[in-house]
Amino acid sequence: MIVSRSYEEFAEHRDRMEGSIGFVPTMGALHEGHLSLIRRAREENEHVIVSVFVNPTQFLEGEDLEKYPRREEADRKICELAGVDLLYMPTADQIYDEDELCIAAPKVRGYILEGARRPGHFDGMLQVVMKLLNLSRADRAYFGMKDAQQLVLIQRMVRHYFMKVEIVPCPIVRDPDGLALSSRNVYLSEEERRRALSISRSLKRAGKMIQGGEYEVSRIVEAMEGTLRPDVDELEYIAVVDRDFRPLERIVPGESIILVAAKVGSTRLIDNLWV
């Protein structure tokens, strides 16, 4: 495995690759969720590129940029064992210019739900993903359905900017007790982690209701609130949207996403269910 820190070195190694390339962009502190993307990329491509970059432009003032977990050595080993060919670990000055041309998230889908709670977050995310996709010139790029809104916005960007890469959505990986894996789970105390389980439990409950024929969003949301309220410290939103992030009043099977964002202690967690 080659590890590149500079843009020039990365580009040189990338240029030498022939055959299909699968790319997995991450912010590091790699866990089984990331690994599922890397494994899928490994299966479907001749070469696999991973990036580890805690992108400053997608963090808002007062968010956890400084304390975001950084585990470079462990990440490097995990990538090596997973059969990654090229690992890009750039510094911010390799990626950004002091007078930067910016990408703006769409005014509607970029500013609801996560975008309403974190205004500007998706601008920074799309900007870095655009750069990394162009740098890697991958045939396929792998993204987790855990970050549903991010995934849908990236798909839009690729469509709107006529980019050739195929975006591959990958299912959410959970701990056996249901908690969706996230690099931010390390912030949770044992007691908070136990309460955080109400998030996946509420989604499971929604799934069961839908299986039982309940398609009315207001009733599903009410039931989810009942599961969440006693355990989370701040319920930011429960939302039901279609696969293009338009709000739904009734579940359309095969077309719907149920999303939750909540704070447990000071940790902000998101999770969702595609139904």
List active site positions: 34
3-class DSSP string for 127-181: HHHHHHHHHHCCCEEEEEHHHHHHHHHHHHHHHHCCCCCEEEEECCCECCCCCEC
Residue 144 touching ligand AMP (CB under 6 A) = yes
Residue 180 interacting with ligand AMP (CB under 6 A): yes
As a whole number of angstroms, the distance between CA 215 and CA 192 comes to 31
- Of the candidates 74, 25, 72, which has an alpha carbon nearest to the alpha carbon of residue 48? 25
Minimum CB distance to ligand AMP, residue 170 (Å): 6
CA angle 203, 254, 227 (to 5 degrees): 10
The residue among 71 and 215 lying less far from ligand AMP, judged by its C-beta, is: 71
Q: Is 124 in the site for ligand AMP (CB under 6 A)?
A: no
Among 173, 196, 241, 264, binds ligand AMP (CB under 6 A): 173
Q: Tell me which of 86, 87, 129, 170 binds ligand AMP, using CB under 6 A.
A: 170
Based on the shown chain and the rule CB under 6 A, indicate whether residue 182 belongs to the binding site for ligand AMP. yes
Q: Which residues in 36-65 contact ligand AMP (CB under 6 A)? A: 36-37
Please tell me the number of Cα atoms within 13 Å of 11 on its side-chain side: 8
- Judged by CB under 6 A, the chain residues 206 through 235 that form the site for ligand AMP are none
Binding site for ligand AMP (CB under 6 A): 26-27, 33-34, 36-37, 143-144, 146-147, 170, 172-173, 180-183
